[in-house]
Chains A and B, each alone.
Chain A
């Protein structure tokens, strides 16, 4: 695991990852060990009318394009396929670079590559984008074939289950009968869980990280404030802002709120403290003064460059609607049909997806006599830990995958 000691170094100093750690979709960590090199995003289009995808809300969507990337080689019997699922603002670009001069690699590059946790020498890694996103897959900013204009708020409400159903079409297209593993953090973890419930025969192992079977009222509240900021922005224009400036202030505010929830009290204190950005003494003015203030402004401003406000509305709503305990209201009952073996991971300082949420999943699985390992990783990084605690996470995942890799024969099996 020499390649994956990166995390330990990063963790030891906040200064090093001043810019590096925090964002969901744009994480950079010092690269060591192997890289998957230059990669490109691929696109799969399906659900052409009249065979549109039936959505949970009752409406249909088609045609659908799904952006995805793959790393490593599929083996002959296609038994080494791992589906990686990203968080709220992530994308299909999980590892490597699109161009040699890209400043940052994919969002989980420290976990995917030769010799890394998801070892591309052994496994075939697929990272799929989601419908309703804005990173190459069909979403509210896509052109509605019926009108020739962007869907905007005419885009149907998409749920986590719908996202997974679309990914199922992609996995079928790739000719994969069973995924060796589905893995994801945060909303990616929700998708991983949904995969095990919706397609129990297609998932052998599942690794939901820092996630939940259903969001708390507190988490929904933060999402609601973010959406409120976007929808009350004077430039929102009922979602029909394409071609104009768009609700950039609202979207930036939503992102700033998001970033607060991804960090912990401790990590904010260590990273910013009460420090001033440019001076030693207070200015007694409303300029951006505190370091934490400046950081959030920067994060908000850079986010609007790369993300569509309508997608933010749709995706956060999908997370809010997600409730794996439905329709019965009994999570144990709803998880009774899963067949996968689980590695459930949470982080001690994550207050957006606290450990009790992971324990709730584990508890429901255990009461169904499913094979499940639960690990709570001690970390000060809050929800962001799933992108930062590379060393601990890698060790758990490498061993878990290694042991259950169908190609490895164990003397006790």
Chain B
């Protein structure tokens, strides 16, 4: 069978489309249970299902994205994340994933804590508003920043709760969440580059692996 190569082809396509997913996929242990909040068309879930043999499910608000997920054979819930995760017991999945999602929520703090309750670990990625290009556009040019991770105009952006890497770290500290891993990136067309020096200045995207502090 060429099913193995077909498998790799699918994940390659997905990570080419969204290079930052490569780093997220690598954070997930094989065979895990994964819940993706705001899973979109299910690209990440599909990649995790294929590459990590993960048992995956998603929640998504968009009708058309739900159709795409069903076409991929994924199990998804059509609903609003701001309603919370009442159906899920504490620690009932291995990973709750929120990719570029928290900044569009009405209550990101509430959902992050819900995610931390339901997942043994959470993978949360954010566009970094303190990226130097964004700072430059605002400070020098005096315009609302537009970057690869923040591609919208001020009038059509869904982002209502933007944050920075430093703000997010502080939030975790204050809410008793432990950052197990942090991957800071600059997103390119088909690739993403690691940033290790001054990430809050040089990275436009950050991925956090977090969990609740025990006790």
Residues of A within 8 A of B (CB): 341, 343, 359, 362-363, 366-367, 369, 371-378, 392, 395-396, 399-400, 403-404, 409-412
Contact = CB atoms under 8 A, between A and B. Distances in A.
B66 interface: yes
Interface stretch (B70-78, B177-185, B202-210): B70-78
Contacts of B70: 343, 373, 375, 396, 399-400, 403
B174 interface: no
B87 A412 contact: no
B89 interface: yes
Given A367-B89, A412-B49, 10 more contacts: A341-B75, A366-B88, A373-B70, A374-B76, A374-B77, A377-B63, A396-B67, A399-B70, A403-B71, A412-B10
Nearest first, the 9 A-B pairs at minimum CB distance are A403-B73, A411-B6, A399-B71, A411-B3, A412-B50, A399-B70, A366-B87, A363-B87, A375-B78
B78 A376 contact: yes
Contacts of B79: 359, 374, 376
B77 A362 contact: yes
A374 B78 contact: yes
Nearest to B33: A369
Interface in B27-85: 46, 49-50, 57, 63, 66-67, 69-79
Interface residues of B, number: 27
B161 to A, nearest CB: 25
Nearest to A364: B87
B7 interface: yes
Contacts of B78: 374-376
Contacts of A363: 86-87
A359 B63 CA distance: 16
B104 to A, nearest CB: 19
30 contacts: A343-B70, A359-B79, A362-B77, A362-B87, A363-B87, A367-B87, A367-B89, A369-B92, A372-B75, A373-B74, A373-B75, A373-B77, A374-B76, A374-B79, A375-B63, A375-B66, A375-B70, A377-B63, A395-B67, A396-B67, A399-B70, A399-B71, A403-B72, A410-B73, A411-B6, A411-B7, A411-B50, A412-B10, A412-B49, A412-B50
Contacts of A403: 70-73
Contacts of B75: 341, 371-373
Max chain B CB contacts within 10 Å: which of A343, A372, A399, A404?
A399
A343 B78 CA distance: 11
A354 to B, nearest CB: 14
Nearest to A371: B75
